[in-house]
Amino acid sequence: MTQAITRKSLYESDFLLWTQDTVAKLKARDFDHVDFENLIEEIESLGKSDKKEIRSRLTTLLEHLLKRIYVGMPQEFNGWERTIRNQRTGIELALIDSPSLKTMWDGAFDIAFRLALREVKNEYGKQGYQFPDTWQFGRDIDTILNVDFWE
């Protein structure tokens, strides 16, 4: 029981040291002393973090795509296009690191588009800009990451 308290304390007091200690125990196959409860929690959170990153980046990407396509403010185009490139790169890298994230693309796209549309309508709708209620272009990964819809 004391060991569990020590491991818990290490996890709470020095996360980096806890990770190093856990890796060392796993490599040594010292499974009796591995803090599995926190290890499982951390592994689960990694997957959730990757999903959250894809949804967040996709939301930002769609916001800027909507602005670039539908908002006639040429002085802003360069900044929007820079953000589009940055988000596309981030999404592509995340998908390279975790290809299984592709399986959640359609659901993430639906959520991201709804959030992006709400944001751009709030920001530019009052200025008279109109946005479609549905995405008017291809929504597959390759299209979203590579097509400049405004050309």
Which of 29-43, 72-86, 126-140 bottoms out in mean pLDDT, i.e. has the lowest? 29-43
By residue count, the chain amounts to 151
Residue 20 lies in a domain: no
- Judge whether 150 and 68 are in contact, CB under 8 Å: yes
Residue 133 lies in a domain: yes
Residue 74 lies in a domain: yes
Specify whether the backbone of 29 is left (phi greater than 0), alpha (psi in -120 to 50) or beta. left
Tally of domains in the chain: 1
Average model confidence (pLDDT) across the chain: 92
Where does 1-151 have alpha helices with state H? Answer: 2-13, 15-27, 36-70, 74-97, 105-124, 141-146
Which of 33-47, 70-84, 89-103, 126-140 bottoms out in mean pLDDT, i.e. has the lowest? 33-47
Q: 80 lies in which domain range? A: 51-146
Which of 34-43, 127-136, 140-149 bottoms out in mean pLDDT, i.e. has the lowest? 34-43
